[in-house]
């Protein structure tokens, strides 16, 4: 199957209260990690960084696991989302206004532990959170 579009994003974690927490963003009823379309002339990694900055204002990411990534199975209209894994060192998250929409892209953000993430994320993202959790636990 030919992929029609590639999105790129970052699973962002931080260590708080003696456990790893994952940053999830909610748009309507759907939870996801920061991500968006890869634009022409942009690498997936560059797109992931841009999307995190645009959607959360975070710029302090540490890519402890390098450029490793995990991709979703194709969904929707043959879309695939690629996710990298990074640590945030505590800078505050903000949901800025998207100039094209005139409002923030997301309604809410939460830092959640692994068990909470499993209950909030849609099935297509469960392999992503499992991959991220495995990397974190084996580090």
Q: What is the pLDDT of residues 63-116, one digit of tens each?
A: 999 999 999 999 988 899 999 999 999 889 999 999 988 999 999 999 999 999
Write phi, then psi, for 30 (nearest 5 degrees).
-100, 130
Both tokens assigned to 40: 């022409």
Average pLDDT estimate for 130-137: 97
Digit-coded pLDDT (tens) for 4-48 = 899 999 999 999 889 999 999 999 999 999 999 999 999 999 999
Task: Supply the pTM of this predicted model.
Answer: 0.94
Distance (Å, whole) CA 25 – CA 95:
9
pLDDT at 1 over 70: no
Of 3 and 117, which is predicted with more confidence? 117
Write phi, then psi, for 15 (nearest 5 degrees).
-90, 120
pLDDT at 2 over 80: no
Residue 37 belongs to what domain range?
A: 5-137
pLDDT value of residue 139: 79
Q: How many CA atoms lie within 13 A of 137 on its CB side?
A: 8
The CATH code of the domain that includes 34 is 3.90.79.10
Number of domains in the chain: 1
Both tokens assigned to 68: 């490793």
Distance (Å, whole) CA 23 – CA 73:
21
Q: Determine the Cα angle at 34 with ends 83 and 24, to 5°.
A: 105
Distance (Å, whole) CA 24 – CA 39:
23
């Amino acid at each position: 199957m030919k992929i029609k579009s590639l999105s790129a994003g970052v699973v962002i974690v931080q260590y708080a209260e003696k456990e790893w927490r994952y940053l999830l963003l909610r748009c309507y009823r759907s939870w996801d990690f920061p991500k968006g379309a890869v634009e022409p002339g942009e690498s997936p990694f560059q797109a992931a960084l841009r999307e995190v900055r645009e959607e959360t204002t975070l710029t302090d990411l540490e890519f402890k696991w390098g450029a490793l990534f995990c991709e979703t199975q194709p969904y929707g209209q043959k879309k695939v989302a690629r996710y990298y894994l990074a640590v945030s060192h505590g800078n505050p998250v903000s949901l800025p206004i998207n100039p094209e929409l005139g409002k923030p892209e997301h309604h809410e953000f939460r830092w959640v532990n692994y068990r909470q993430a499993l209950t909030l994320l849609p099935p297509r993202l469960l392999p992503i959170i499992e991959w991220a959790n495995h990397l974190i636990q084996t580090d």
